[in-house]
Amino acid sequence: MTLVFAHRGASGNHPENSLSAISAALDVDVDGIELDVQSCRDDYAIIHDTWLDRTTNGRGMVRHASREELNALNAGNGEGIPTLQDVFNLIGTNTTINLELKHTYCLDKFVQYIEKNVNAGIVERSQIILSSFDHHQLVWLKQKLPWVKIGTLTASIPLNYAEFAQQLHAYSIHMDKNFINHEFVLDAKQRGLNVYAYTVDKQKDIELVLDMGVDGIFSNYPCHAKMAINKLSETKGA
């Protein structure tokens, strides 16, 4: 069965990267939740953009604000911006957590953060996928956390297809749905990589990427995506 990851939580119906979006995704029993993490002044914040103005009533850059200041903002429906710890506490051991590193610094501290939560039993090693467009960061993180699953992000079709992900000892390759073809998917699978496509919401797009043989999709509407995939599976099995 094709896996469904809630993209920024169930962000189609709730504020993206919010605790309510995460809770809604958990309610529909998703296979994983993808969230954006970046550094703020004294912690790690769950927010996509470098600047605050698109998704909150704040202004300025995320990295210049403290966690208290971020939590006091309205990021939608009166919710503040959660920290990474808030996310770990909410999700617990319930599902896969894909953390996409955006403007994330102090990676030594980030590694300690992950290890502390794993050692405390709040989350498990097998749950964590760390993904990024910055493949240099992924190499460094894999050296520090050899057990961690690495997801290589790409919005292109490289000349050597998925070779770059294999060189990074990645667990998965996360492909933009607009830059995906049968050859790319086949090459990735032959290299032992899981193939996930983002961001897949529309029925036709779901059908297209499933026809290409992806292992999972990232969707803003995980409930709809799960129903669509189940229906397609039933149709093919009929």
Q: Is residue 81 over pLDDT 60?
A: yes
Percent of the chain past pLDDT 90, that is, above it, reads: 95
Q: Which residue has the tokens 């202004």?
A: 59
Q: Is residue 21 over pLDDT 80?
A: yes
DSSP β-ladder status, 32-39 and 44-46: antiparallel
Supply the DSSP string of 32-93, one letter for each residue. EEEEEEEE-SSSEEE-S-SBSTTTSS--SBGGGS-HHHHHTS-SSTT--PPBHHHHHHHHTT
Residue 103 annotated among the catalytic residues of the structure: no
CA distance 37 to 205: 27
Determine the average pLDDT of the residues in 153-160: 97
Q: Is residue 201 over pLDDT 90?
A: yes
Cβ count within 10 A of residue 213: 13
- 24 pLDDT band (50/70/90 cuts)? very high
- 233 pLDDT band (50/70/90 cuts)? confident
Q: Is residue 238 over pLDDT 60?
A: no
Domain topology for 3-39+83-237: TIM Barrel (3.20.20)
Tell me which amino acid residue 119 is: N
pTM greater than 0.85: yes
- 235 pLDDT band (50/70/90 cuts)? confident
Q: How many CA atoms lie within 13 A of 81 on its CB side?
A: 30
CA distance 237 to 234: 5
Residue 224 annotated among the catalytic residues of the structure: no
Cβ count within 10 A of residue 156: 10
Tell me which amino acid residue 237 is: G
From the candidates 7, 14, 174, 224, which is the catalytic residue? 7
DSSP β-ladder status, 3-7 and 32-39: parallel
Q: Is residue 237 over pLDDT 70?
A: no
Tell me which amino acid residue 125 is: R
Q: Do you know the residue count of the chain? A: 238
